[in-house]
Structure formats: structure tokens, C-alpha cells
Amino acid sequence: MTPGLDIDETPTMEIRPLAGALGAEISGVDLAAPLEQRTIAAIRAALLEHLVIVFRDQRLTPEQHAAFARRFGPLHNFAYTAARALDGHPAVLRVVKEKEDRKVFGELWHADVTFLEKPVLGSILHAIETPKQGGDTLFANMYLAYETLSDGMKALLERLMAVHESEVRAENAGNGANGGAGGFVVMGTEHPVIRVHPETGRKSLFVNRTYTTRFSGMTAEESRPLLEFLFQHATQPEFVTRLRWAPGTVTFWDNRCTQHRPLNDYHGQRREMHRVTIADSTL
């Protein structure tokens, strides 16, 4: 357990770990109800301890979903993605895969929007419609990814910065974008390869296959062998938990020390999720 955290503050809240690496399921909390501050504090402590927390059988309106997320920080504008906000609810991102679609949103391993100077704290995803089978999400623990590296590799990586980039629509880019053709530009920034969590003080590996393109001061070709090792190391089965969704499942993950990957194994079935993302006000 992370020093100083107390996750047993409420008599009705029960926490059951999902796997050895990360993740816990929390029962005894109705997220649609007004929650006392001590309950919010206990949920936050559980998030910091388990990295991914899951609530089952929740029935949230978009307003309630956003209101719950606001208890943990200011909401993030997710205009960079191809998905669109729910009508009338600009903070609620609608993530849908229709029956005829072949690709899934965010298909590769990633942490969200690491191409921004200030990546987000985390996201809260509410399952609205799920397939009868398939459509699970994998989560990986980046603390473990760092801690299991050799001392020599840790020493090497401590000195490195990595470039994180993504192509986004020009109207959404703002500052920090490089010009491109066809109405798209590349947004990018640099982050330490080994990042210290602003709340727990623990070190984690902070590169991901979707957005990390190279090490600072190196070419993509020079960077590729070491990055490929880190991508595979970070997502090995011992560091991963697999979440099975159902309508009413709400999952909250800490984007600062995890990666995730939705599985695209439910062709011909529909899946709709609503996501609210929280900015990291600790930075």
C-alpha cells in the first residue's frame, strides 16, 4: 500500500482486488447519489492504491457522470480525438463502435493524450451498451514496468526524454503544433522516460506505443530498438489485468501510471461507452 493512504474510511464501501498487478472492484457506493467528502477521499485513495477501480451496476445520467468526475479535478476538453461529445454535454465523450465498424477507438496500447504538455489525471468510462462477448479492456501497471527493469537500464532511462506526438485536426491543435497538409497538424511534446507520480511519489515508465515516437536528440531509427523493448516489457501479462464490461459498469483509471488497450474482438456487435476525462491539477 502507498504510505499515508487510508482506503477504509467508509463502512459500506468494499474493495476487492481484480488481479495481482492492478485493479480493484468497489461495491457499496452509488455514484449517482450525492457523496460525502470522506467517500470521495476513500475512492481517490483506492485509485492511487489500485490504479484502476471498477463500479458495477451503476445508472448515471451524463450530468451525474460529469458531476462525479468533477469531485476529483477540473474536466478536460477532449477535442483532440476523432470521437465526439454527447449532444448537450461537452464534457462527455461518446465512444461508439457500430456493428459494421472494423476499427475500435484507441486500438493500440497507450496512455491518453501524452502528446500534450500536461497529460490528464485519468478518465471515468461508463458502459452504456456492450457486446454479449468480447470488447474487454486491458490495463497495465507502469510502476511495475519500471520497478522490474535492471539497475543499469533504470540508470540509462533516468537520463532520457522521449518525444510524444499525434496528428490532430488543425482547428483543435492550438499551440504546440507543427504544420501539416489536409487540415491536420502534428502536436507533440517531450516527457521524462521515467516519470514521478505527483501524488504517490512513485516512479513509473512513461512511454507508450501509440504516441511515443523517439528519444529526444535521437532519430526514430536510433530509438526504435530500445522503444520496442520497453513497449513489450511494459505490457507483459504479469503487469496486466483484463476488465470485462457490462451495461452500468463504471471504470476509473489513473492515466499517470497505467496504459490501456481495448480489445477489438466483437465484430458485428455494438458497443457504446461514455467517457469523462479529468485534467491533472497537481502539475
Query: Residue 52: is its pLDDT beyond 50?
Result: yes
Arithmetic mean of pLDDT, 182-192: 84
What cell was used for 161?
526524454
Q: Which domain holds residue 259?
A: 1-283
Tens digits of residue pLDDT in 188-204: 999 999 999 999 999 99
In 3D space, the residue among 256, 258, 261 whose CA is nearest the CA of residue 242 turns out to be 261
What cell was used for 65?
457522470
Arithmetic mean of pLDDT, 139-152: 98
Tens digits of residue pLDDT in 30-49: 999 999 999 999 999 999 99
Count how many domains the chain has.
Answer: 1
CATH code for the domain of 96: 3.60.130.10
- Compute and round to an integer the Cα radius of gyration of the chain: 19
Among all residues, which ones are annotated catalytic?
110, 112, 260, 275
pLDDT of residue 187: 86
Q: Residue 187 and residue 173: Cα distance in Å, rounded? A: 7
Tens digits of residue pLDDT in 56-94: 999 999 999 999 999 999 999 765 556 688 888 888 999
Q: Residue 21 and residue 235: Cα distance in Å, rounded? A: 11
17 CB neighbour count, 10 Å cutoff: 13
Read off the DSSP letter of residue 117. S
pLDDT of residue 80: 59
Query: Is 52 within 8 Å of 257 (Cβ atoms)?
Result: no
User: Which single residue is written with the C-alpha cell 445508472?
Assistant: 59
Query: Residue 120: is its pLDDT beyond 90?
Result: yes
